[in-house]
Structure 1
Amino acid sequence: MSQWIEASYVGSMLIAEDLALLLYDDESGKPVTGSPGLDYALGGAVLIELTLLGKVDIAEAGDTVKAGRLKVLDTTPTGDALLDERLAFLAGKPGARPKDLMKKLSNKLRQQVLTRLAERGVLEADKGKVLGLFPVTRWPAKDARHEAEVRAALENVLKLGTQPTERTAALIALLSALNVVPKVVTDAVDKKALKKRAKEIAESEWAATAVRKAVQEMQAAVTAAIVVASSAGAAGSS
């Protein structure tokens, strides 16, 4: 990855930040989906970002590590603190299965992303208490201009059939993996067609194999976490 691209990258919105804006309701400041899906999706977004920057990859047959495992290509800092913290973590995990890293990759990530967006004046940290006792923070929109641009790009692809950029396709694939596309594009008349179009994009040749694999790894981690949680709940109720 060239120095110019990395230098110009600093200060721009991350895919994880765009994803967080889409997954939080502008008015209520509440997420449209819960854990672990939201957190792992943000982790998947970071993994995709680092893959697009040429920092990590998902190995294929014949690579130095087993196919489907994490391959570290470049540990040079990106200049973005959030990305560099995760890159440093991944640098010590070559050969690991990405889905096994998703929990630690997403640890504290949501709070970091939301805080950054609030510091930029994009969201507002609205602190309050539930039942007058338990502290809670809502994250309503403060300046929705950037989010409006992201949503317009999504709708052009999902509703008008335009060709997605790699970043827009990554967002659509992550939203599709979470099964929340109709919750994000709320004015669609045919929600079934909307979900089908999103799934088609997620499974198409919209990006390098490694980037699509990163989405699949995030989805696999979410599924595994849900199964574990369900099993624990069943065991607790028996």
Structure 2
Amino acid sequence: MSATPDWFSETSPIQRKNSAEAVFDDLRSAITGGRIAVGTRLPAETRLAATYGVSRPVIREALRSLQTLGLTQTRTGSGTFVVTPAPSSDLSYSGYSARDLMEARPLIEVPAAGWAAVRRSEAEAEALMALCEAMDREEDPHRWVRLDSDFHMALAEASGNAVFAKIVAEVRDALMQQSGLVNMMASRRLASNREHRDIAVAVRDGARAEASRAMARHLGAVEEVVTDMIGPASGA
């Protein structure tokens, strides 16, 4: 008998606050560590939910991230299967590779943050701060990712540059997928909240240079996690 059934029988209910992150981390570690072998069909959502002591939506969120990472594949009518023990190096979201996003975002969002500090209206500054407050309160990973997306979109619009706003809107779905996976991989939600607030405060205060630096720090932290997943950019 393989080690996989034993591993599932030994898994205990999740106690940590963010259950989706905990389930994802447990399953990912088991796959990358070889405790769940390639070719294994994962138990159904209902069984996983009972095993971990969480709801089915929590399990669904974790499984979605495993698939985005390339570790599993869901086959209609058959279930979710482990397809590789290591994350895909050509990770992509909505047609954009993780590397494309990693290289392009600093060229767009860093200057956008700076211009937002110069051009934002009072209402836009207040909206950014309100989004920070909402992200601080939000515990649900899916809803948090939506707020994160709203923040970056609002910031691009506050820059007063239609090109920045159009580009961010175009890649918004990809950014949401990346954000969800990065937070699952590194439990970065609280750190990200602080980084977003630093950006919003600088924009509110009209501090162009600091707003740009704060955005650069935020994207740099995201890049560290992405690089851990897919490796450094070629030629870097």
Q: Would you say same fold, with TM above 0.5?
A: no
Write 1 or 2 for the structure with the bigger share of helix: 2
TM-score bucket of the superposed structures, by smaller chain? under 0.3
Larger Rg: 2
Higher relative contact order (CA 8 A, sep 6+): 1
TM-score with structure 1 length normalisation?
A: 0.26
